[in-house]
Amino acid sequence: MSDLSKNQGDKRLCPKCGKDNDVKAEYCWACYYDFIPDKSLKTSPEITKKENHPTISGNILASPKIIIQQQKETLEIISGWETANRYLMSGVGTSATGRVFEKKGDAGEKMVRHFTNTHRPYEITFLEQGIPFLAVVRKFKWLFSRVEVTDPKKGNIGIIQGKFNFFKKRYEIYNSYNQKVATIIGPLLHPWTFKVYNNLNQEVAVILKKWSGAVTEIISDADNFLVDISKVKDASLKPLILAAAIVIDIDYFERKK
């Protein structure tokens, strides 16, 4: 047991925010405090202290391509009961790494998640070196996703809006001024490929679901994505495309119950 938290029977008290967590939890469901710091990602208890946060703008976004790998817990693989999504990120050709967490919530919220599945509301946080640099929030959806993307320093930076289309999957990306800056299209004959176009109808990025052949992916339907933003010239568009990859995963690839 880590000495970074106090035990309360089957609970673990987060030293950062004071919330109760499962005793086996690796991260606090409320503030994402790392109970078991991963040295390979350069995290430590000290880095989570607000007063010690270094200036960081999300170096993962400086990578031309980003690999996103979904992480499945053993219990989830065996039981089929979906838990809060977790992902690892790594920059292709760079040393940049990061993590993505869906807020777990309390028991009631977990039940809502299970029965509403891909229609559920969610809150997802992107972290680099243990520091949040991007958040995606969606309310309950009926037909099409509408998510708000925020930056901890800048506030709202854009909206990703699902759109109706007979033969294609379609999203529109809006900036903080509610101006459409890009469109995402998933062609009918290429269900694992989502192309991003600017307002001049030029392809600037691709979100590709890649099957790795890993045992966990075969058994649990874990998802791996490649996000190619090497042609994106507008830096403000990159975090919105990265966020869109997670939105697409939940909308189209998360296992339906």
Best CA proximity match to 191, nearest among 171, 204, 205, 209: 209
Q: Is the pLDDT of residue 59 over 50?
A: yes
Contact assessment for residue 211 and residue 217, using Cβ atoms and an 8 Å cutoff: yes
Cβ contact 37:26 at 8 Å? no
Residue with tokens 């790494």: 97
d(CA 70, CA 33): 19
Per-residue model confidence (pLDDT) at position 127: 94
Give residue 170's pLDDT: 94
152 vs 48, residue with greater confidence: 152
Buried b / exposed e along 144-157 (16+ C-beta atoms within 10 A): ebebebbbeeeeeb
Query: Cα–Cα distance between 221 and 209 in angstroms, integer?
Result: 12
Query: Tokens in use for 150?
Result: 């925020």
pLDDT of 157 > 90? The answer is yes
Instruction: Name the DSSP class of 167.
Output: S
Does this model's pTM top 0.85? My answer is no
pLDDT at 41: 36
Structure-model confidence comparison of residues 231 and 187, the more confident one: 231
User: DSSP assignment, residue 233?
Assistant: -
Q: Give the 3-state secondary structure of residue 128.
A: strand
Residue-wise pLDDT tens digits, 241-255: 999 999 999 888 875
Query: Which tokens belong to 35?
Result: 């109970």
Answer yes or no: is pLDDT of 144 > 90. Answer: no
Sign of CA dihedral 102, 107, 113, 114: positive
DSSP E strands in 47-104: the ranges are 65-71, 86-91, 97-102
Residue 181 CB partners (closer than 8 Å, separation 6+): 158, 173, 174, 175, 198, 199, 234, 236, 237, 240
